[in-house]
Structure 1
Amino acid sequence: MNILITNDDGIYAKGIIELARELSNIANIYVVAPDSQRSATGHAITLHSPIMVKEEYIDENIKAYSISGTPADCVKIGIEGLFKDINIDLVLSGINNGSNLGTDVIYSGTVSAALEGFILNKPSIAISYNDLNVKKEVYRQASKYIVHLINNIKDKFDLLNDCILNVNIPATEIKGYKITKLGKRCYDQVMEERISPFGQKYFWVKGTMKELEQDEDSDIACVNEGYISITPVNIEMTNLNKINILKNIKMI
């Protein structure tokens, strides 16, 4: 099995390094990741500047590159450029430093990288850990759960022909896995206005997460209860229920 791994935290993030090393025990691993932090870039791609590529070292049996682009760029370059002669069987994005739950997936570079894999007709999984700045040993243990997941679905990748899996691992004792739906995330945003030393106005975007009531089968509720959430996510954004209603409206 050939697995392409990327992330949005950058090539030197502990999450991607430990994931790549652990998975190298069951598959051929190819890594393409941003050369620096690219969190919350969503599904941006680079069109108006060159994307620089640098060979990197993770382990002896892992081929790895960093690029100057976004997480989505990483998947495109990996599949259609650097490893175009290799049949990639699975795309993984992560392990992200911090969760990607609920409606936050819209902003997530981690989830968007997996969605790019889906667009390129590859089974794809986004993986996040529900804590920040954790030790590499924690990511190593989290990676073992991903190996377990892959071993259980590797003969059923056709399940991913119309979606990706968004996986979130709780930072508590693991009780098991649950299949979930996206929960609700909302923030009290603060635009903090400042003035630079040169007199130019600028803003820092700050936010505090609101406490919202969650459905018991949401990814947020399940992770909070100590379960690994597995959410099938697709890119069908058409509200099919509204099509006929709109068709019956007379347009001038």
Structure 2
Amino acid sequence: MRILVTNDDGIHAPGLALLERIAHQFSDDVWVIAPAEEQSGAGHSLTLSRPVRLRSHGLQRYSVTGTPTDCIMMAVGHVMQDCLPDLILSGINRGANLAEDLTYSGTVSAAMEGALAGIRSIALSQQYLHEAAADSVSFSAAEAWAARVIAPLLDQKFDHRTLVNINFPPVDADQVHGVRVVRQGFRDYGRLRLVKGTDPRGYDYFWFGLGEMIHTPMQDTDLEAVADRFVSVTPVQLDLTHYEVLDQLRALYS
């Protein structure tokens, strides 16, 4: 099995190194193609207004001066075009990708691009407590649980244009209660925080931040699963069509 490992935190991220080690538990044929710099929040974006550069970091390890989606396109269209991967593992992201985070996440979007290319794709993220410094995030739960969560998925047939999104709770490995297969949740809107400042030339600037991420509790979602110290596993489809409304809108124009 040929495995491609990517992420949105960048080629030097500790979560990527961990995922590379986990991938080697399943195969000796592991490739890494990841962004040269952090691309958190890049979503499913492409680099279109400037050239993208590819740099080698040793055997089967590359960085791309672009987004996570660029990395998958570079893999499929150039680096691995004659030896396409059988599996794409994206992560392990520093921070959760729960609920509507899926639409912002570069980690999940890399898996989306893999799914569009017809490749089995899995996104993995490690939640951490907000009071923890970003460079001291513990991947304890992910390190202990990732392989055992991935393993059953290797024999599972993925429907066309689907992927699996996995999140690990922010606790030590021995405090994880198990695995829950759940649906995507949604938070209550309003978590965006704008921090205003003034630069040395007197011009205002704004820094986007995240406020308290509250939500109305709902049963069997990824938000509740991770809060209850379970690993959440969520199947995600890329068909965004709202079929219940499709016929209603058709009737408007008939």
Task: State the TM-score, normalized to the length of structure 1.
Answer: 0.90
Structure 1 residue aligned with 2:54: 53
Match of 2:4 in 1: 4
Q: Which residue does 1:113 correspond to in 2?
A: 110
Q: Tell me the secondary structure at the aligned position of residue 112 of structure 2.
A: helix
State the shift of 1:117 in Å. Answer: 0.3
Q: Is the 8 A contact 1:22 1:140 kept in 2?
A: no
Aligned-partner residue type, residue 234 of structure 1? Q
Matches within 5 A, 1:58-97: 63-97=60-94
Q: Percent identity?
A: 32
Checking the alignment, whether the CA contact within 8 Å between 2:181 and 2:232 is kept in structure 1 is yes
Query: How many residue pairs are counted as aligned between the two chains?
Result: 245
* Structure-2 residue corresponding to 1:174: 176
> Which residue of structure 1 aligns with residue 163 of structure 2?
164
Structure 1 residue runs without a partner (length 5+): none
Question: 1 CA distance for matches of 2:141 and 2:103?
Answer: 27
- Could you say what secondary structure the match of 1:248 adopts? helix
1:29 and 2:30 equivalent? yes
Contact 2:39 2:106 in 1 (8 A): yes
CA, structure 1 residues 63+140, in 2 after alignment: closer, same or farther (shift >3 Å)?
Answer: farther
Contact 1:93 1:126 in 2 (8 A): yes
Deviation for aligned residue 1:200: 3.0
Contact 1:8–1:38 under 8 Å retained in 2: yes
Match of 2:227 among 221, 224, 229: 224
Give the whole-Å Cα distance in 1 for the aligned partners of 2:77 and 2:94.
27
CA distance in 2, matches of 1:192, 1:139: 29
CA RMSD of aligned residues (A): 2.0
Q: 4+ runs of 1 displaced by more than 4 Å?
A: none
Offset of residue 141 of structure 1 = 5.9
Greater mean deviation of Cα atoms: 184-193 or 113-122 = 184-193
CA distance in 2, matches of 1:21, 1:130: 19
- Corresponding letter in the other structure for 2:112: L
The structural deviation recorded for 1:2 is 0.6
1-structure distance, mates of 2:151, 2:191:
41
**Residue 245 of structure 2 aligns with which residue?**
242
Q: TM-score, normalising length from structure 2?
A: 0.89
One-letter amino acid matched to 1:181: R
Q: State the partner residue of 2:124.
A: 127
Corresponding position of 1:184 = 186
Check 1:22–1:134 CA distance in 2 against 1; reply closer, same or farther (3 A cut). farther
